[in-house]
Structure 1
Amino acid sequence: MKILVVGGTGLLGQHVLHELRSRGHETTAVARTQREGVDRVLDVSKASRAELRAALDGHDGVVFAGGMDDRAVGRGPVEPRLRAGNVAPVAALLEAAREAGCTRAAVLGSYYTHFDRVHPEWGLAAKHPYVRSRLEQARVARETAGPELPVAMIEVPFVFGVADDRVPQWSVPIVKWVRSSSPLFAPPGGTAATSARGVGVATVDALEEASGADIPVAQENLRWDDMFTRLATAAGRPRRVRTMPSGPVRGAFKIGGLLNGLTGKQPGLTVQHLDDLLLRELYVDPTHPGPVDDAIRETATAR
């Protein structure tokens, strides 16, 4: 296969490219700015239909590994920015891919869409603009691609690992914290986790199978206290992680939501409802079971 990867310089995009090449596939790495490893400079969110078609001609498939994550924060409504980052470029890219005769596609999304699907009673889409944007991304992707171009939605959980100078964005303040001498606390609950390589493996599996499925990715399910313990140990500062009661955690999120409202800021995940996410066990049946300790070590020791 010959696969075009949008966001090829990002953490996950680089691992998708590496996995494709390790299996003997041809690749084209696309990014908005020129740097080592970029085959084509193109801002998909601003590219014309003709530019997208020209980039996709001769390819069997496409991966969208770009977009805006749940940490998007700014003044005013966040939904237009999330739609511009996650929905509009996917629609334009997949329309061009269908016209170019591509036969497979994958979009790297979020495992929150998995939980909205299996637990509609949680009301995640109603509470969080980011979740709504990812659900709209999946719907628009498949409507645009049509039945002749199957689109796999890779539902990504917490990711560990590195690629060149890239680390998971969520990990930066956490790693700084576990490297410090501050006491460590963790709320109840936990999350599915994977390595960046695991995302690459799942994505290329889906491309080779021409899958059009929703694919939640996981290698392990980690309690928050277990995650912080492993990170602190990997960072060379092992110590006890104390469990926080849920009441103060809920209170802190309510206060944070109030402050955001007073300052006019709206994040992708609504802070006053974060307790409905982070105090749960956001676990997924592992798709590629195995420890993520090596990826945790890479994350904790990255500079």
Structure 2
Amino acid sequence: MKILVVGGSGLLGHHVLEQLRLRGHEATTVARTPREGVDHVLDVTTVSDEDLRELLAGHDGVVFAGGMDDRAVGKGPVAPRLHAGNVAPVVALLSAARAAGCTRAAVLASYYTYFDRVHPEWGLAAKHPYVHSRNEQARLGREAAGPDLPVAVIEVPFVFGVAPGRVPEWSVPLVKWVRSSSPLFAPVGGSAATSASGVGIVTVEALEGASGADIPVVEENLRWKEMFTRLAGAAGRPRPVRTIPAVVVKAMLRLRGLVNGWNGTQLGLTAEHLDGLLLRELFVEPPVPRSVDEAIRETVKA
């Protein structure tokens, strides 16, 4: 296969590229900023449809590994920015891929769409602009691709691991915290977790099979307390992690929501509803359970 990888210089895009090449496939990389190994420097949110079709010519498929994550924040409504970062470029890219005759595609997305699908009673898309944008990304992207271009949506949870010059953005303050002498606290609940390399493997397998499925990626389920304990151990600062009562977490998030309202700031994940995610066990049954300890150690070391 010959695959175009948009966002190939990022943490997950790097591992998709690595897996493609390990399996004998050819890959072309696109990124917004020049870096070693980037073949084309452009912003898919602004490039013309004609340029996208020209870029995709001769490729069998495409991977979208870019977009805005759930930390999107800013003054005023965040939904238009999330649409511009997550939805519009995927629609344009998959429409161009269809016109160029591509036969497979994958979009790296979020496991929140998995939980919104299996637990509609939680109302995640209605409460969180970020989840809504990921749902629209999948729905409108597949509409643009049409019936002859299967699009796999790779639903990514908490990711550990590194790439050259890249670490998970959430890890920077958290690793600084566990390396310090400060006491550690964690709420109840937890999350599915995976390695960046695991995302690369699942994505390339989906491309090879021309899958059009929603595919949650998970190697291990971790409660927050266990995750922080492992991070502290990997940092060489093992110590107990105390549990924060759920009522305290809810009060803190409500306060954060009030502050956001006062200063006109909106988050991709709405603070006053975040307890509905943070205090739950967002677990997914791993198809092949594996420890993420090595990826945790890589993340902390980096």
Q: TM-score range by the shorter chain?
A: over 0.9
Cα deviation, 1:202-253, whole Å, max 9, x if unaligned, reads 1001000000000010000000000000000101111111111111011000
2:76 aligned with 1:67: no
Q: 1:285 to 1:251 in 2, by over 3 A?
A: same
Name the aligned partner's letter for residue 156 of structure 1.
Answer: V
Q: Does 1:299 align with 2:288?
A: no
Task: Decide whether the 8 Å contact of 1:161 with 1:196 is kept in 2.
Answer: yes
Deviation at 1:170, TM superposition (A): 1.1
Pairs within 5 Å for 1:11-26: 11-26=11-26
* TM-score (ref. length: structure 2): 0.99
Separation in 2 of the partners of 1:165 and 1:292? 20
C-alpha separation between the residues in 1 aligned to 2:168 and 2:33? 20
RMSD of the TM alignment (CA)? 0.6
> In structure 2, the residue corresponding to 1:258 is in which secondary structure?
helix
Q: Contact 1:61–1:102 at 8 Å: present in 2 too?
A: yes
- 2:291 maps to 1:278: no
Q: After TM superposition, where is structure 1 displaced by more than 2 Å over at least 4 residues in a row?
A: none
How far, CA to CA, are the matches of 1:218 and 1:106 in structure 2? 17
Is 2:269 aligned against 1:258?
no
Corresponding residue for residue 224 of structure 1: 224
**Cα deviation 1:88-141 (Å, max 9, x = unaligned):** 000000011000000000000000000000000101011000000000000011
Counterparts of 1:252 and 1:127, CA distance in 2: 18
Matched letter for residue 220 of structure 2: E
Q: CA deviation at 1:62?
A: 0.1
Deviation at 1:40, TM superposition (A): 1.2
Q: Which secondary structure does the structure 2 equivalent of 1:284 belong to?
A: coil
Residue correspondences, number: 302
TM-score when normalising by structure 1: 0.99
Q: Name the structure 2 match of 1:142.
A: 142
Aligned ranges for residues 54-203 of structure 1 at < 5 Å?
A: 54-203=54-203
Cα distance in 1 for residues equivalent to 2:106 and 2:97: 11
Once the 2 structures are TM-superposed, how far is the Cα of residue 288 of structure 1 from its aligned partner? 3.5
1 CA distance for matches of 2:25 and 2:259? 49
Q: Which runs of 5+ in 1 are unaligned?
A: none
Residue 39 of structure 2 aligns with an amino acid whose one-letter code is D
Kindly provide the amino acid, as one letter, of the partner of residue 151 in structure 2: V
Amino acid at match of 1:76: G
Give 1:287 deviation, angstroms.
3.1
Q: Share of identical aligned residues, percent?
A: 74
- Using the TM superposition, give the Cα deviation of residue 272 of structure 1 relative to its aligned residue in structure 2, in angstroms: 0.7
1:237 aligns with 237
Amino acid aligned to 1:245: P
User: 1:78, CA displacement in angstroms?
Assistant: 0.2
Aligned to 1:277, what secondary structure does the other structure show?
helix
Alpha-carbon separation, structure 1, partners of 2:28 and 2:7: 11
Alpha-carbon distance in 1 for matches of 2:188, 2:219 = 20
